[in-house]
Amino acid sequence: MAEIGPPPLTGIKVLEFAGLAPGPFAGMLLADAGASIIRIDRASDTRGLPTPDALTRHKASVSVDLKSPSGTAFVKELVARGADVLIDPFRPGVLEKLGLGPDVLLNINPRLIYARLTGFRRDGKYAHMAGHDINYIAVSGALSLLGRADDTPHPPTNILADFAGGGANLFQGILLALLARQTSNKGQVVEANMVDGSAYLATFPRFGLKSGVGARGRGRNLLDGGCPYYETYETKDGRYYSVGALEPQFFRELVRGMGLQDRGLEEKRFAFDEWPAMRTLFRDTFRQKTRAEWEAIFDGTDACAAPVLEYGELEDDPAREGDQRPSVTLRRTPCLAIKRRPEGQSDPVVHGQGAGVAGDGYDGEPLAPGHGGAQLLEEWLGWKKGRDYDVQEGAFVLAKAASKL
């Protein structure tokens, strides 16, 4: 095996303003790749209780009174002393009102990547409205594609806008800006929003509205629940099985495994009028065996049929592929491990470097405001409490001689 180097974002310093869901998720992706993250919590949240944010692994916290000059001066000093990335999760204008907008901070540190994430577009008709994931995918058009034919549009929990179109999209923008900085030596503002992010993710089905792939209306097409061989079915024991046998050779494997060969089903695959009867046949057939019995039939085949696994069984059954790992394997510079394990007992390239985190990726570890901040301030800047900064009523402030900002 080639020599393993440090995680790819080692040495990158990130200031993440405390928020919920998409902003912290972007920060967590950076942290998993080795970046050093200081979360900036509100000083009013320093009663010893953690914030609701569970996306905290590999992060530390400082608590700051952002409404006071001493608090904003503390943030500015961290930016001036070499922060690489700042994550702004707030609605438009919040940090500008605090004197911490991009014009101010990029003037202090021209190499700063000022990363901003909003729900609605900053320049759109909904810019000043509150919203949640369901609203962002609604106005993006993506929600109109999701759900059963005879039901209302149905959101896929808050995965699509908050996390895929929001946090992961912002993470991508930060990486692009860091790459551009290698050439220009300058930072920049990165703006992501969940409307454009989810619309971009919906590129293929959006094209399908005009190409014929998705032209039959929501829930009536090949990939959206309309097709009986791209569907989920209940098994005898009340569990579920997924079927995705789109290609003819996979469909043959599927009907053979179900014991439905020689019924002319292959010739009826694209006969839309036959789909309801085929769905009924598949539904009745899957109910005749337990999920485990279907697994015994389909495991190792090309039927494109697999069990719908639940996180409880993934977490507890070592035979399942439920151990949480980095989302991508880098062969020379692996990301950090998620699942805890004794040092050296698994491949650090595949499973990630280090011993993992509390909760193994199934339980989010809360991060109390101020926890771990002193250690990272010393690692980043060599700062010592009482010499370079103090903590007053739970708020981190600069020592009087620490800054002239």
Q: What is the mean pLDDT of residues 171-188?
A: 98
Give me 400's structure tokens: 């009087």
pLDDT of residue 51: 66
Res. 402 pLDDT band, cuts 50 70 90 = very low
Do 113 and 53 belong to one domain?
yes
Please state, rounded to an integer, the average pLDDT across all residues of the chain. Answer: 94
With contact defined as beta carbons under 8 Å apart, do 124 and 195 qualify? yes
Give the three-state DSSP class for 103: helix
Q: What is the pLDDT of residues 261-304, one digit of tens each?
A: 999 999 999 999 999 999 999 999 999 999 999 999 999 999 99
Backbone region of residue 202 per phi and psi (left: phi > 0; alpha: psi in -120 to 50; beta: other values): alpha
pTM score, whole prediction: 0.94
pLDDT of residue 47: 54
Do 78 and 181 belong to one domain?
yes
pLDDT of residue 365: 87
Q: Is residue 215 part of a domain?
A: no
In this model, does residue 48 exceed pLDDT 90?
Answer: no
Q: In terms of Cα–Cα distance, which of 326, 302, 322 is closest to 312?
A: 322
Identify each DSSP E strand in 74-212 by its residue range: 85-88, 113-118, 188-193
User: At which of 284, 316, 348 does a domain end?
Assistant: 316
Give me 244's structure tokens: 């995705």
Give me 248's structure tokens: 């003819």
CB atoms inside a 10 Å sphere around CB 137: 30
Do 83 and 174 belong to one domain?
yes
User: What Å distances lie between residue 41 and 143, 183, 225, 340, CA to CA?
Assistant: 33, 33, 43, 27
Per the annotation, the verdict on 103 as an active-site residue is no
CB atoms inside a 10 Å sphere around CB 387: 11
pLDDT of residue 293: 98
Give me 96's structure tokens: 């500008």
* pLDDT above 90 as % of the chain: 89
Indicate which residue of 162, 196, 284, 299 is catalytic: 162
Do 53 and 127 belong to one domain?
yes
In this model, does residue 405 exceed pLDDT 60?
Answer: no
Q: What is the mean pLDDT of residues 80-103?
A: 96
Do 304 and 336 belong to one domain?
no
- The total number of structural domains in the chain stands at 2
Within 150-243, residue ranges assigned H as helices are: 169-184, 194-201, 203-211
Do 123 and 98 belong to one domain?
yes
Q: Which domain holds residue 82?
A: 13-202+329-398
Q: What is the pLDDT of residues 208-234, one digit of tens each?
A: 999 988 999 999 999 999 999 999 999
Q: What is the pLDDT of residues 132-163, one digit of tens each?
A: 999 999 999 999 999 999 999 999 999 999 99
Q: What is the pLDDT of residues 238-258, one digit of tens each?
A: 999 999 999 999 999 999 999
Q: Is residue 6 part of a domain?
A: no
Do 306 and 341 belong to one domain?
no
Task: Give the DSSP letter of residue 168.
Answer: I
Q: Is residue 304 part of a domain?
A: yes
- Domain with residue 306: its CATH number is 3.30.1540.10
CA distance 334 to 352: 6
Q: What is the mean pLDDT of residues 115-120?
A: 96
- Domain with residue 61: its CATH number is 3.40.50.10540
Q: What is the mean pLDDT of residues 164-179?
A: 98
Q: Is residue 8 part of a domain?
A: no
With contact defined as beta carbons under 8 Å apart, do 118 and 194 qualify? yes
Do 177 and 36 belong to one domain?
yes
Do 104 and 142 belong to one domain?
yes
Do 296 and 274 belong to one domain?
yes
Do 335 and 296 belong to one domain?
no
Q: What is the pLDDT of residues 314-362, one digit of tens each?
A: 998 878 999 999 999 999 999 999 999 877 678 999 999 999 999 999 9
Exposed/middle/buried for residue 20 (C-beta within 10 Å: 0-12, 13-18, 19+)? middle
In this model, does residue 56 exceed pLDDT 70?
Answer: yes
Res. 259 pLDDT band, cuts 50 70 90 = very high
Q: How far apart are the first and last CA of the chain?
A: 50
pLDDT of residue 404: 46
Q: 239 CB contacts (<8 Å, ≥6 apart)?
A: 290, 291, 307, 308
Identify the sign of the CA torsion 391, 397, 401, 402. positive
Of residues 125 and 45, more confidently modeled? 125
Do 68 and 162 belong to one domain?
yes
Give me 307's structure tokens: 């069990």
Give the three-state DSSP class for 135: helix
pLDDT of residue 212: 82
